[in-house]
Structure 1
Amino acid sequence: MRPEDRRAAEHDCARLIALYANLNDEARWDEVAALYAEDGVMYRPTAPDVGVEGREAILAAFKARPPRTTRHVCSNVVIDVEGPATARGTSAMLLFTSEGAPLVGSFHDRFCLTPDGWRFAERRGSLIFK
């Protein structure tokens, strides 16, 4: 893989992480779900052992949530490109809600290149401090 292709993949995957946070905070669920591959899997930080499989199921899970005001702050993003169509990433997450104390956690992501660009193949969240 050429260095410029690796950097482009790293950038695109890091952008997905930031876009996910922003769209999530704006409750734009259709667009959040579209960031996943069709067969992608989501593990919420509050339920790290329960996978939600498939883009449609992920969309339904987001739409079933009660409305709330949130602000996700993601940092320490590191993307490791494994090949021309796969990558892994980690990031730190800080979640502010109108409901209580901030939550601190992380995401461990797997990415895949689709005809529509890079998407989450798996997004696995976990909480460190609750």
Structure 2
Amino acid sequence: MTPSQRIEIEHHCARLVAHYANLNDAGHWDALAALFAPDGRFARPTAPDDWICGRDAILVAFRTRPARRARHLCANVVIDAIDAEHAIGQSALALLAEGSTPVAGSFHDRFVKTVDGWKFAERRGSLAF
């Protein structure tokens, strides 16, 4: 993998992290679920060991949660390309939600290149406090 290929992979994956936050805040669940590979899995920061498996199940999980106004802030995003089709990443998360105490945590991500571009293969959240 060339340095420019590595930079391109890391850019695409970092964009997924930011796009996830924006779509989540906007309540665009179909587009958010589409960021995951069909067999991708997701664990919320409040339940890091409770996996939601598959894009369809992820969509259902977001559609069925109560509506709220929120802002997900992502920082310290670091992506490492493993090879031309796989990458890993970590980012810090702050969540500000109406009627809730602010929380801080992180996401640990695995990314995969699909025929539709880069997707989350796995997104696991956790809370720091």
User: What TM-score results when the alignment is normalised by the length of structure 2?
Assistant: 0.99
Length, aligned pairs only: 129
What is the CA–CA distance in structure 1 between the aligned matches of 2:69 and 2:116, rounded to whole Å?
30
Aligned to 1:58: 58
Equivalent position of 1:110 in the other structure:
110
Q: Where in structure 2 are there 5+ consecutive unaligned residues?
A: none
Q: Give how far 1:27 is off.
A: 0.3
Alignment map for 1:33-52 (pairs within 5 Å) = 33-52=33-52
Residue aligning to 1:10: 10
Counterpart check, 1:122 vs 2:126: no
Q: How does 1:13-92 map to 2 (within 5 A)?
A: 13-92=13-92
Question: Which structure carries more strand by proportion?
Answer: 1
Secondary structure of the residue aligned to 2:76 is strand
The one-letter code sitting in structure 2 at the alignment partner of 1:82 is I
1:99 deviates by: 1.5
Letter of the structure 2 residue corresponding to residue 39 of structure 1: D
Counterpart amino acid of residue 61 in structure 2:
A
Q: Distance in 1 between matches of 2:64 and 2:98?
A: 18
CA RMSD of aligned residues (A): 0.4
Say which SS state the counterpart of residue 101 (structure 1) adopts. Answer: coil
Shift of 1:38: 0.2
Secondary structure (helix, strand or coil) at the match of 2:128 reads strand
Aligned match of 1:98: 98
CA distance in 1, matches of 2:46, 2:63: 16
Q: Percent identity?
A: 57
Partner Cα distance (1:92, 1:100) in 2: 19
Runs of 4+ in 1 over 4 A off after TM superposition: none
